[in-house]
Amino acid sequence: MKPLFVLLVSCAWTLIGAQNYYQALMDYLENRLLAIEDRMQLWHEQAHQYRTEMLDFKKLTSEAMTGIKNDHSMMFKDLKGASARVDLVETEMDYVETQNSPRACANNAEKVLEQEAWVKENDKWFNKYYPEKYCVEIISGIRSVKILKRIGSPKGMWTRDPKSSKLYVFNGTSGDTVYEFKSVRDFSTSLGVAGSRMIHLPSKWTGPGSAVYNGYLYYINQETDADVQVVKFDLMSGSVTDTAMFPMERHASLYTLNPETVADLAVDDEGLWLLFTPTDSEPNISLAKMDTSTLDIEQIWDTQCPRGNAEAAFVVCGTVYVVYNTRMASRSRVQCVFDVNDMMLTEEAPLLYFPRRYGAHASLKYNPEENQLYGWDDGYQIIYRLTIKTKLLA
């Protein structure tokens, strides 16, 4: 009996221990579940708070965006109105400029009289060193603008021979064909290039930098990796009479806003000029005086006029006028002037603004017999009539 009693007591203690163990385990699990529930409740409250804050932020952002859109709309309307007013003012200014000649400066009256006496006194000196003609004139303004027609490519060139009435059109930035018209009237009344005489050249002209003078066409040729070549072509006989080579880089461009212009030939009262840049790293425009008969270089100058943002240039009485613009085409303006004879006073250097047009000038060619510029602007052929005055000699 005794062993059985001991066995029963042992089993009873074992059952009691197991019951206590399971009770402790259940208590532990219950406490953990309660802790998890508390944490989940906390997460739920925090998520609700974050959602509320996000909704408030979204509402504030939406209100701010609506305000910005309204402000932008009002600002756009204001800018549009300001632009319209600026255009109106520019139109009125252009009209006033065309109706009124530039006012003379009273302070310079004595200088003008002194200058005239000085010129007469030194006539013998001028005739000795400048037997053909000596220029003492500069541009003072743009008297009028005439948009003749629109023909051809956005870029090109047109010019008139100062010694005749014939007009020449160069369509595009390179080619071997030139269109000759008998007069400006014939050109203006023609349909396109109909009615013109097509002149086929033995080599291509490169860039809108050609010039016509006294029955000869002077053009730039750069078809190979060789230096730039200036070609003199007899328009009457249809043959090349002379050529000259110039050491310029193959891919150098004269005007940064018109990279197709490798070099630019110009004609004025004193003869033939060449605007160029020896290398693409050269910051300034160089000028060379050329002999129209032999194409020899008589003299070279560094104009100190930068190539950056330049679109074109022309020469009047030995004075270079460089025209500048912006990448987004705006009003062209003459910002740099260089006088090879060093006869221009600093205070009389003009700051000329061209009237607002269609785009930017691809070329500007001066005719000394008419005191006019022939401009090519986005395919439009434009004539600028200039106001000329006498230089005030220092």
CA–CA gap between residue 299 and residue 90 (Å, rounded):
41
pLDDT of residue 267: 95
pLDDT of residue 131: 45
Task: Spell out the domains of the chain, with CATH numbers in brackets.
Answer: 135-390 (2.120.10)
pLDDT tens string, the chain, 394 residues long: the values are: 556 666 666 766 676 767 777 778 887 888 888 888 888 888 888 888 888 888 888 888 888 888 888 888 888 888 888 877 766 766 666 555 444 433 333 333 344 344 444 444 544 444 444 444 567 788 988 888 999 899 888 999 999 999 899 999 999 999 999 999 999 999 999 988 888 999 999 999 999 999 999 999 999 998 766 678 899 999 999 999 999 988 777 778 899 999 999 999 999 999 999 999 988 889 999 999 999 999 999 999 999 999 999 999 999 999 999 999 877 767 888 989 999 887 765 566 777 888 866 678 999 999 999 999 999 998 999 999 999 888 765 4
CA–CA gap between residue 362 and residue 170 (Å, rounded):
11
Backbone angles phi, psi at 325, to 5 degrees: -155, -165
pLDDT in tens, 367-388: 999 999 999 998 999 999 999 8
pLDDT of residue 283: 92
CA–CA gap between residue 255 and residue 261 (Å, rounded):
7
Pairs from 118-122 (Cβ < 8 Å, separation ≥ 24):
118/393
* pTM of this structure: 0.69
pLDDT of residue 225: 61
pLDDT of residue 96: 56
pLDDT of residue 393: 55
Place of tokens 């004075």: 319
Q: Where are the beta strands (DSSP E) in the chain?
A: 137-150, 156-160, 167-171, 174-181, 197-206, 211-213, 216-221, 228-234, 239-246, 264-268, 271-276, 284-290, 297-306, 310-316, 319-324, 333-339, 352-353, 361-367, 372-377, 380-390
Backbone angles phi, psi at 292, to 5 degrees: -65, -20
